[in-house]
Amino acid sequence: MKTIDIPKDGLAGFKQNWTYDALAGFLVFLLALPLSLGIARASEFPPAMGVLTAMVGGLFVSFFAGSKLTIKGPAAGLITICAGAVTELGGGTQGWHLALGVIVVASIIQIGLSLLKVGSLSDFFPHSAVHGMLAAIGLIIFSKQIHILLGIDPATLKGLEPLELFSRIPDSFIHEDFRVTLVGVVSLIIIFGMPLLKGRVFKKIPATMVVLVVTVPMALIMDFRKTEPAFDLVKIGDFWGTIGLNADFSAIGSWVFWKYVFMFLFVNSLESLLTVKAIDGLDPWKRKSNPSKDLTAVGAGNALASLFGGLPMISEVARSSANISFGGRTRWANFFHGFFLLVAMLLFIPVIEMIPNAALAALLIAVGYRLASPKEFFKVYRIGSDQLFVFVITIIVTIATDLLIGIGAGILTKFIVHVFNGAPIKTLFKSNYEISNQGDQYLIKIKGTAIFSNYLGFQKAFDSIPHGKNITFNFSAAQLIDHTFMEGLHHFEEEYHQTGGTISLIGMNKLRTFSDHPTATRRAVDSGSNKLEITLTSRQVELIDFAEANEYNFYPQKVRNSMKYKDFPIQQGNKLLYEENLMEKYLEAGKITISDLALTEGALQEKRDTHITMVHVTETVHSMPDFALEPEGLWTKLTEFSYGKDIDFHEFPDFSKKYYLYGTDEKAIRNFFNESIVHFFEIHHGIHVECHKNKLVIYKRRDILDSDEIILLEKFAEELLEEINRAGKK
């Protein structure tokens, strides 16, 4: 399969993968251009300076970055800091120049800290507080952009705090500009409506591109240039003439200057490090980034971009997730995204100035919604009510004050919650564990408290164990384990499986979880109340009956086993969380396992969980080539650049029309797909089949199947094995 060989880096990687990376870079460019303009405008910077930042992030930073698939550019998470810096440093052009000086100084410090290998410090901050900070940023973005979408003059909003902006929303609706609002509403319908459309093609087309394709003609038809105020259209002006040494350091002696230096440094570094870690989990080749090196590259990019007038950049999660989805393979995808932005600013500025600001406001409202959607609150609540409490406190304090006080309040609240749950104060910063080993068997005994503030000590212990060993974690002596520690442990478990090692957990039954989430906080319970209770879901009850009726062994528990599906295309751009509800039995032709897989696409706020009922066939009798077969549609035609050429058979036109078949050894695949196997697939249309190292993965669609559908899928798998056996005996 295309996913087996790890893509080369450097010039060799360019020669090997430039077609894949150029396509991914172009599609990311379509996403990045309007977002960069909108983020800059919302940050009180000249709109084109956001594009400058993305250009530097692609054309310069990509050569030095410590990650392979992240896209560097301006981010919505820094809007409130940028706008606040410009406003407090005098506003307008003067505030912009002074804010640039702040960013340059913060970037130099950022480079220095990254050289000290501080990349792992992102694990110190509790996830609920970080997510609360980002949700607050989302609400602040909405509080400003809803007025822009309604056609309100942004000059009337300057200096207003978030709560004041929220209070003015009813007045803005009363005085809205109908034609501008129409453009904004149509944009919102496109952004939120496209994900609801069925079909992979709609999942892959950037909604931002569709917004521009629709709203630019709308503005032209309604003649915005003549009939609407100038603030309703993007204004680029003399972009190339504006670029120069724009940073002003004259405010370096003021408290405001250093306040924003610290805010830029903290949020910029934290968001970048979190994104790099999250995107590593989606990398189809499971490459591990160097977070400190990546932060050095981001710092250098920030310094260069801000010297010439640009915003600060980060490893941006939405564009990075999209890059993987579009088939990006190496750092050259980031380079191409910057290259296409450069071409746009050289040739298409007049076209860019036709973009309505209401459309950009809609894009930013969508970004704000993803950061602070009800789904985010529910996701945090699912982890535990303790996490929701910290999350909400962080949001409230951030909106009422600023980001630094907000994140500080979140961390303090987290400490208070831990002390309330029995963590001694002296253990808050001290990790307590014992490591012993006999040959390849390692035992790590966790004692006392294992929480966010002492996680770095545990992480050093985890990293000290050689790859490929068998590790057992014993939690029988633990008193309190928080969500951040559990999240880090699961991340380590996933990475360690990739090295060929195994990890098992014991003693967890002595801890009471705050929810049924796998990374929920856990606290020790009294021995008298220490009972292990297993509650089966309605689906598990249904599957028990199914397993008994069809002679399967049934295992309801969740299993984290990403190695089982390693190098199968199903993991392309996805992260396997776990599989559960395993049903196993042996057939004459091999072993068949049916299970429910939980996958996640995207990362952080872009994360979308998917559950699939899957058939996994192993221990087959006859040899098979590696291949992937899926029903053909519009998107499969567009993705041949990313996944591989469609192998068609002139003698079997119906089969070639129905299926997209790809793999690296075309000759072996053609020999395998003889007339009888081709005919079998022709009469069983709509099934996805992947083969790797004589193992098969079979699924009908990306969803959970009921018992009747599972029977049909099982029958398909059995008949396919029989057909393969007959072909192998000839």
User: Which of 468-482, 499-513, 522-536 has the least mean pLDDT?
Assistant: 522-536
Residues 68 and 330 sit within 8 Å (Cβ to Cβ): yes
pLDDT of 324: 87
Between 17 and 574, the more confident residue is 17
What is the pLDDT confidence band of residue 488, given thresholds at 50, 70 and 90?
confident
Higher pLDDT, 726 or 184: 184
What's 354-422 look like in SS3?
Answer: CCEHHHHHHHHHHHHHHHHCHHHHHHHHHHCHHHHHHHHHHHHHHHHCCHHHHHHHHHHHHHHHHHHCC
pLDDT in the model for residue 530: 46
Confidence of residue 334 (pLDDT cuts 50, 70, 90): very high
- Flag whether pLDDT at 520 surpasses 60: yes
Question: C-alpha angle 204/637/333, rounded to 5°?
Answer: 55
Least confident segment among 167-176, 287-296, 602-611? 602-611
pLDDT category at 174 given cuts 50, 70, 90 is very high
Q: How many CB atoms lie within 10 A of CB 728?
A: 14
Average pLDDT for residues 224-229, to the nearest whole number? Answer: 92
Percent of the chain exceeding pLDDT 90 equals 46
Residue 384 tokens, joined:
């535990």
Interval 466-474 mean pLDDT: 89
What are the residue boundaries of the structural domains of the chain, listed by start?
10-375, 428-529, 539-729
Single out the residue of 412, 375, 381, 376 nearest to residue 520, CA to CA. 381
Per-residue model confidence (pLDDT) at position 93: 93
Query: Helices 707-729 and 675-682: crossing angle, nearest 10°?
Result: 170
Condensed to tens digits (0 to 9), the pLDDT of residues 670-716 reads 989 988 888 998 888 788 999 988 889 999 888 889 888 999 898 89
Lowest-confidence range among 17-21, 178-182, 365-369, 400-404? 400-404
Which pLDDT value is given to residue 526? 63
Location of structure tokens 């299993």: 559
C-alpha atoms less than 13 angstroms from C-alpha of 708 in its C-beta half-sphere: 0
Given a contact cutoff of 8 angstroms between Cβ atoms, the answer to whether 488 and 277 are in contact is: no
pLDDT tens digits, one per residue of 631-640: 876 555 555 5
pLDDT value of position 532: 46
**Residue 135 in contact with residue 395, Cβ under 8 Å?**
yes
Mean pLDDT of 93-119: 92
pLDDT, position 410: 92
Taking each continuous run of H as one helix and of E as one strand, the counts in the chain are: 30, 16
Instruction: Report the distance separating Cα 628 and Cα 614, nearest Å.
Output: 15
pLDDT, residue 183, reads: 96
pLDDT at 3 (0 to 100): 42
pLDDT of residue 702: 84
Residue 170, pLDDT above cutoff 90: yes
DSSP code of 210? H
Q: Which of 187, 152, 189, 191 is nearest to 169 (CA)?
A: 152
Instruction: Provide the mean pLDDT of the chain.
Output: 87
In this predicted structure, what is the pLDDT of residue 604?
A: 66
Write down the pLDDT at residue 559.
Answer: 75
Question: Structure tokens of 616?
Answer: 């996994």
SS3 content of the chain, % helix, strand, coil (to 5): 60, 15, 25
Each residue's pLDDT tens digit, 354-376: 999 999 999 999 989 988 999 88
pLDDT at 529: 47
Quick check: 198 pLDDT over 80? no
Asked if residue 201 has pLDDT above 70, the reply is no
CATH class entry, domain 428-529: alpha beta
For residue 200, pLDDT beyond 70:
no
Residue 621 in this model has a pLDDT that exceeds 80: no
Taking the C-alpha atoms of residue 674 and residue 173, their distance in angstroms, rounded to an integer, is 66
Q: Does pLDDT of 37 surpass 60?
A: yes
